[in-house]
Structure formats: C-alpha cells, structure tokens
Chain A
Amino acid sequence: MSAFNAIGEDREIDRNEFTPGIEPQATWCPGCGDFGVLKALKQALPEVGLTPEEVLTVTGIGCSGKLNSYLDTYGFHTIHGRSLPVARAAKLANDGLEVIAAGGDGDGYGIGGNHFMHTARENHDMTYIVFNNEVFGLTKGQTSPTSPKGHTSKTTPHGNAKSPIRPLSLALTSGATYIARTAAVNPNQAKEIIKEAIEHDGFAHIDFLTQCPTWNKDARQYVPYVDVQESDDYDFDVTDRQEAQEMMFETENELYEGTVLTGRYFVDERPSYQDQKKELGEMPEEPLAERYFDDDAEWERSYDLLDRHK
C-alpha cells in the first residue's frame, strides 16, 4: 500500500469539499478581493481533477496568508515572505503533490522578493499566486512595493517617492515560464488562468489584482478589465519572449494610468527544475518521500564511504 493514497486519486470532486466545515469563517473585510481568489481556486481545483488531499497550499503572512485557512487542502501557513522556499522543498520532497504557494504584494515582492527571483529562475514546478492590492492590509494600510508613485499612507505621508515594482517583468527576466495577471472582479478568467497555471509544468506566476476596500479605495482595481487575449486591440505571441516583454511593459504602465489589462503574457516550454534535476541524476525519479515507506528500499550507509579514509 502506498503511503500517499490521496495522490492520483481519480473521482468526481465537489467544490464544497474544499470548504472547511467549521468556524471561524473568513476574517477578510466585506468586499475584499481575496474572496475572489478563494472562489476561483475552489472552482479550478476540482475542474483539473485534484482532490483536497493531494494539494498542498503554502502561504505567507498577511490577509493573503489566510487563504488556506478557508480552503480545505493540506496547508502550510508559514511566515512573512517565506512561502516559496517551503513550497519548493515540499515539491522536491514529494513531486506527486500539487503545490500552490500564495502571498501578498508585500509578502511576495517585498520581504520575499529574493525567493521570488530565485524560484522563478530555477523554474520549480509549482503555482505562485500573488494577491496584489498595492497596500499592506493586515498592518493597516501602509505603502507596499506595488503602491503607485505618490501614494500617501501613514508611512508615506508626503507621497510615495518610489516607483512600483513591475511584477510581470520581474517574473519574466527571472525565468518564470508561465506569467499571467488576473483580477478578483473577473472570476471566469481567474479560474481559467489558475487551471492553466496548475497544469503548467514549471514555475507559473499569477499577479492577482485584489481590491482592498478598507485601505486602498483609490486603487484602480474597481475599473473594468480588458482581457488582452479577447481584445482585438492587443495582438502578441505569448510564446515570444520579446513580444511578451513589450506587452508586459505596456500593461504595467497602464495599471496606474489607463486601462487595466489582464490575461496571459508568457508561456514557455522550458523544462521544470524538477525535470532538469532528474535528468542530471540529482533527484530520484520516484517521489523521495515514498522511499521512507518502501519496505524494499535499500538504504545506503556511510560505512561504504569510509574506504577513502582508511
């Protein structure tokens, strides 16, 4: 008998299975964009055939970090900015798991910025959803790495002197192989993008625009969105790095000024880190965690290494 029977289980799954049955329910504010991510995930997971027990959601700290409190999968609510290193190690240890990491813009692009760059570079096979509401919500509305220039808050009373981070461009130059932006007010697109990201074999980054009605009423997340894939005005090839780069640049400029553009920006077939490691003989073919439950496994020991010391 396998130790991880939930992995690969094939049955009809109801989206309600992903809802924890007990209180407390979400402590997010009424109208919070985070509900949109939760809803889209609950719809996407059964549609790609995943059961709650074969999914591991790893979150950081902040409002976004509470995602897996309200989503009934295996979950790991870590610490501020550290969801990615925990998540990618879990995937390395057991690549049968579906690993989804999530965090906010402060969590993911600020304190966790270094991990974001390197996880994308290594192209770990996982999905990373960043709840981008351009503000620190849970600590009561301070300026975040994605707040626009001039943004005023308690920490920037005279306006933010810094230009915002460009998460899509950053993901691209770092090496992510699936990059998209979606928005909480656009649930159908969000669900489809999450499904694609999960099925993508590599590091899939979703910059998920989530409105914060409590702390960031000025943000443009309430305006209608234009889906770049559905509009005739935007024609570019998502597999062409150059075209994707130009399109991202335009999108990231417009977010604060003109139209809010969403959709897929880059999809690449570069092999995932896990596949490359396996090819080099640096990672076992079978999930490493299974080995501990395999009664026939031959455990090598250091005694055989002593020859060189004799």
Chain B
Amino acid sequence: MSDHELIWRIAGGSGDGIDSTSQNFAKALMRSGLDVFTHRHYPSRIRGGHTYVEIRAAGHDVQSRGDGYNFLLSLGDSFARNPQEEAYYGNEEIKPLAENLDDLREGGIIVYDSGLVSEEDVEELNLEERAEENDWHVFPIDLRSLAKEHGREVMRNTAGVGVTAALLEMDLEHIEDLMEDAMPEKILEPNLTILHDAYEMVQEDYEFEHDLRIPEGEHHEEQALLSGSNAIAYGSIDAGCRFIAGYPMTPWTDVFTIMSQHLPDMGGISEQVEDEIAAAALAVGASHAGVKAMSGSSGGGFALMSEPLGLAEMTETPIVLLESMRAGPSTGMPTKPEQGDLEFTLYTSQGDSARVVFAPGTIAEAYEQTRLAFHIAYEYQIPTIIIYDQKLSGENTNVPVSFFDRDPEPSLGSVATEDEIAEMPHDTSGKFHRFQHDVDDGVSPRSLPGQKGGRYLATGNEHTPEGHISEDADNRVAQMDRRMAKLEAIREELETEHESNQTYFGDETADFGIITWGSSQGAVEEAVARLNDQGHAVKAVGVSDMMPFPENEITEFIESVDQAMVVEMNATAQFRGLIQKELGRYGDKLTSLLKYNGNPFEPAEIVEGYEVNVDGGDAEPSAQVRIEPAAGD
C-alpha cells in the first residue's frame, strides 16, 4: 500500500456550507481518478458549533477515515463573530484552528482564514513553535476578503478550495465542471473568479516547501460517490419497495428523505406520520395489502416500533425496518455513531420472536444487503432489519457505477395467485388456510385482500390455520414450530444460495484473528493490511449476518486461530456476547476492543489493540479505547 494519500480537513461553523463544499471537492478528487472516503463530524445544532469534514483520497482503495490528517483548511466561524446574532447563536466561541491541531500529522499543511481567525487566537496557540516542532507548513490567507472582493463573504469556501488546489498542484478542471453543474448562473461567475484568483495568488505569491501533492490514481470504470443512506435507499428501490412510512429522527432521516424524494415519481408512496408506532404499523398495513413496504428509525424511535414488529412476526407480514444507530441510551448523542443497539434490535418484542437482521459493513454491502433483506422478508413472510449506524449513514465513498446495474425485483415472494389459492385448503365456510401447519420450510403461501377465494383473518393473537384466535395447545405448538422453522430455512438459503455476507481479509494462515461487525469493518480492514505489511500474521472477518447467525462460518474462523479480538463501538461487548451465545463457547478465546466516545475507530487504534493483546501487556491502547479481557482472565 502506498503511503501517499491526502486527508483534507475543512473546519468551521455548522451552517457555513462546509458540507456542500466538501461534497463537491470529494467528487472532484474522485473524478481525477482517486478513491475517496469522507467522514463528517458535526454537533447537534443547525447553525454555529464546530464542525469538520474529512476527505481521504488516494490512488489505492480507502475503507476508513484513516489516522489523523495532513491538510487543514480552517475557515473560521462567521456566526461567532456577528454581534447582532450573538443572542441567537449564543456566545460559544468556535476555534476551528485550535480545535483541529491535535490530529494533524507531521509535515502537514495548515491554511487558515486570517480574515476570520483572530490574531489573538493564533498567538495563544503558539502556532509558530508548534509548526516548527511538527514540520507544519502554515499559510495564513485572508479568504474572507478575497471572497468579498468578487462576490459574497460566504464564497470563502470556494477561495479555500482554490488555495488547496494550488498548494497541491491540482488541476482545476474537475472542480470547475462540478461548480458549473451545481451552481445557478448568478453565483457561478463570481465563484469561478474567486476560485481562479485564489489559485493564481497562491501560485504567484507563495513559496512551497511542503512535499504533499495531489496523489495520482486512475479508475478503470466509472465511479459514483454515495453515502450508506443513498445505498440503502437505492437498494430498497431496486428491491421493488414502493411504500415507506416514517417519522424524522437523526440519522435515519437521510434514507427517509431520499426515498420520499424519489418514490412518488416512481409510482410509489411515502408517508410522514404521527409517530414511529404508526410508521411501522403503516408498513405492516401496506405490505398486508400487497406492496413492498419499509419503515425505520434510530434507537429511540425504533423502541416505539417493537409493537408493530411483533405484529408483523405473528401475522407473518413481510416488512423491512432500518435501525440507524446513534449513541444511547435515551436520546444519547444524536450526531455520534455507536454500535450499541445490537441486542435491542435482535431481541426487541415480546415472546419467542424471530426476525432476520443484517449489518452491512460498507456502502456497497448496504446496497446488496438491503436487496437481500427485501427478498428474504417477502419469500419467508418475516420482518427483516438492517442495522447500521450514523457513520455508515453519512460517510461517502466511491463505488463502481456498474455495481448498481441490475434489474429491479418486483416479486412479492410467497404470495399465491387466485388460481393457486383455489387449489389450496379451505374450510367449509370458504376460509383459506393461510397459516397452514404442514409446510416444510415454515412458509405457508399468503393471499392478499381482494383476491378471490383467499379470505382469512390475520391476527396478532395466536391463531388457527384459517386465522381464528386460538389457545389450543396442539395448534400453538404447530404454529410456533412452523414460524421458528423459517429461521432455519433462511439460514440454509443464506449458506447455500447466496454469496457469504461475511467479508474475510488478511493473512489466511494467521493464528490471530479479528472479528468485527457493521461499519467498524473498514477501519479493521486497513489495520489488518497495515499489520500484515509490518510482518504480523493477522486475519479478520467482518460479520453481517446477525440473525440467523452464521454459526458454521464463525466457528470455522475462531477454530482456525489461537486468539481472536472482537472490535465494536459499544461499552458492553454486545457482539462478543452474541458470538458466545450463538456458539455456546469460546469465552476464553475472545477479547474485546471497545470504543464508545462518539467517534468511530481509526485503524491505528486497532493496531495498538492488537499489540496490547499479543504482548499481553496491561496498557490500554489509548484513553479513548478499552480492552475487555477474555472470560476468566
């Protein structure tokens, strides 16, 4: 792996256009042939408050935000300076320079807006001395005045991009193209002027001593830059989903709004409703009537969905629910990721309830597994859940366009036609045996309201084959066994008819293994590559099947190593608990590397975790990460 990479951080106040600027710049980097990965850090407020976006770009595959960064564009916060607005925005002082220096790598570049970052701030930071120590190259540039000269102050972002491009000796062509696509005529001209002026000014007036240049790369096929939320929404559309109901909640709202913007144009329906109980109940109602339907939320909203989730299980109504985790409990940290809802998602709802849970690890997997979730839900008449998190929701990475080139799948799965229904068992009054006992894989074909000959009662109570409420002991056992049999059938289908959802990487012969799940996979993948490069024998698996659990695959993986470290973003080692529960052993073989401070893992932390584990030392890898020893240690 080449070390040559750019990790560009743009920092400032929320509401200053940092998101749109970085989105465009990331796309320009992708168009110039680089692989990109974006990471967004933002506070729970709309305007003001410190925010940054990191774009990592390299000529090789990038799966995580990386470790630290090497280019800071510090814009300053316009709101904190505006006395009229102080009452509204509060007097919280935003220090986009001061707050971002800790992670800047040696030899890195700092560009700060000398028009917006006060001299006192800079003096307080002791910047000169620190720059010398760390070999930082500092460029104070009055971006604000530059923007004001040709347009408006808010266009200082564009000036910052121009300065960045000049310092990295990057061609402006892709940036210009994107600006032309995205901006209306009126603001395009001044923005282009500002971009060029900033670029030329740096080229003419500044001497560069730094080594950082734009990395080189080339794509062999067309790429698209999209987020996990985009991938899930597109996976749903391609799976034939045409009904979504929801209630806004960060970070699930992304998928909900993407779907709402596209579904009506595709002949579908989107409903924003009164609460999450209603949202999931609407998905159940729509699916019952014969439409592929979904709903979703984040932890707190998902809590309300436990009722309709159980109803879907008992009435065997297919639905797909999304659970986009943020740090909990309760309202927790709305804009920070955590993998803390795993057990909640697996076991929500009363009784011996069963559902299918997928946890995609990457954006491509999110698309793939969303399609699979709809397929399984409708074939087996069971709720499926996609559990992901704030990190996967909001991060962007490039995926080959051809990956999405597949046909839509409008099949409703195990719905019988009227002709088929006519051949199936009915009782004397003409009621259809919709919940037949005697089927092999647990799936009794269903009819839809309005179909001839298919009349039945769907009920959340235990029921007979035709749907009558029943507390008969024999019927209860038969119905329970049949519903439970579905999970075994699904496990078998996942094992035999689909490519494994688990992702394996690293040195196959290694006797140290790392096991992770969901969005932590990217950082683990990079850490393992780094360890392998350093000559350590390590391999890893990113697990996506949470329920049914891939018993055989994970048993084989654990059996093949002496020791395994489970990496996840929560404080109670929920996934490690799941492995031990499902496999019934390995308590002495598994350690945990846990992080729950609101920020995702960086590869270096996992490397350190490995070192502590292997050396058997007592030291924690860092203050923000915790090691949980094996049972009995």
Contact = CB atoms under 8 A, between A and B. Distances in A.
Given A82-B307, A85-B285, A97 B449 contact: yes
A7 B450 contact: yes
Given A53-B452, A68-B457, A305-B262, 8 more contacts: A22-B428, A78-B284, A82-B308, A90-B449, A93-B289, A114-B274, A117-B274, A288-B291
24 contacts: A3-B451, A6-B451, A20-B431, A20-B468, A52-B455, A53-B453, A53-B455, A73-B455, A74-B454, A75-B456, A79-B460, A82-B281, A84-B278, A86-B288, A87-B285, A90-B286, A93-B243, A93-B291, A114-B274, A282-B269, A291-B242, A300-B267, A302-B233, A302-B404
Contact of A288 (B267, B273, B450, B451): B267
B461 A94 contact: no
B395 to A, nearest CB: 14
A292 to B, nearest CB: 5
A22 B428 CA distance: 7
Q: Interface size bucket, A side?
A: 35 or more
B289 A66 contact: no
B459 interface: yes
Nearest to B412: A292
Contacts of B242: 288, 291
Nearest to A118: B274
Interface in B206-226: 222-226
Contact of A79 (B274, B282, B308): B308
A204 B539 CA distance: 63
B427 A21 contact: yes
Nearest to B396: A309
Interface in A56-91: 56, 58, 61, 66, 68-69, 72-79, 82, 84-91
B289 A289 contact: yes
A92 interface: yes
A170 interface: no
Nearest to B30: A310
A5 B447 CA distance: 12
A85 B286 CA distance: 10
Contact of A299 (B234, B410, B460, B469): B410
Interface string A90-117: 1111101100000000000000001101
A309 B408 contact: no
A281 interface: yes
Nearest to A68: B457
A283 interface: yes
B407 interface: yes
B297 interface: no
Contacts of B268: 284, 288
A87 B277 CA distance: 14
Interface string B260-290: 0010111111110111011101111111111
A88 B408 CA distance: 27
Interface in A18-70: 19-22, 24, 52-54, 56, 58, 61, 66, 68-69
A7 B449 CA distance: 9
Contact of B284 (A86, A91, A299): A86
Q: Which 3 pairs of residues, A with B, have the shortest CB-CB distance?
A: A21-B429, A89-B285, A302-B234
Contact of A75 (B289, B308, B429, B467): B467
B286 A78 contact: no
Contacts of A92: 243, 269, 271, 282, 286
A82 B277 contact: yes
B283 A89 contact: yes
B57 interface: no
Majority SS at the chain A contact face: mixed
Interface of A: 1, 3-7, 9, 19-22, 24, 52-54, 56, 58, 61, 66, 68-69, 72-79, 82, 84-94, 96-97, 114-115, 117-118, 277, 281-284, 288-289, 291-292, 297, 299-303, 305-306, 309-310
B6 interface: no
Contact of B291 (A7, A9, A72, A289): A289
A284 B226 CA distance: 29
A72 B455 contact: yes
Given A4-B451, A69-B469, A289-B291, A85 B404 contact: no
B547 interface: no
Interface string B367-385: 0000000000000000000
A22 B429 contact: yes
B245 interface: yes
B451 A89 contact: no
A70 to B, nearest CB: 10
A288 B279 CA distance: 18
B235 to A, nearest CB: 8
B293 interface: yes
Contacts of B264: 281-283
Interface in B274-327: 274-275, 277-279, 281-293, 307-308, 310-311, 315
B460 A89 contact: no
Given A6-B451, A22-B428, A92-B269, A292 B282 contact: no
B525 interface: no
Contacts of A58: 285
Contact of A90 (B235, B289, B307): B289
Contacts of B404: 302-303, 306
Nearest to A6: B452
A93 B317 CA distance: 14
A204 to B, nearest CB: 18
Contacts of A77: 457-461, 469
Contacts of A277: 269
Contacts of A85: 245, 273, 277-279, 281-282, 285
B450 A6 contact: yes
Contacts of A53: 449-455
A86 B467 contact: no
A238 B407 CA distance: 53
B313 to A, nearest CB: 12
Contacts of A6: 450-452
A115 B275 CA distance: 9
Contacts of B430: 21, 72
Nearest to B233: A302
A310 B289 contact: no
A146 B386 CA distance: 41
B230 interface: yes
Contact of A89 (B289, B407, B410): B289
B285 A90 contact: yes
B405 interface: yes
A302 B431 contact: no
Contacts of A93: 243, 269, 285-291, 293
A88 B290 contact: no
Contacts of B410: 291-292, 297, 299
Given A21-B429, A288-B267, A5 B285 contact: no
A66 B418 contact: no
A91 B469 CA distance: 24
Interface string B425-452: 0011111000000000000000011111
Given A21-B428, A77-B461, A85-B273, A301 B449 contact: no
A89 B285 CA distance: 5
Contacts of B77: none
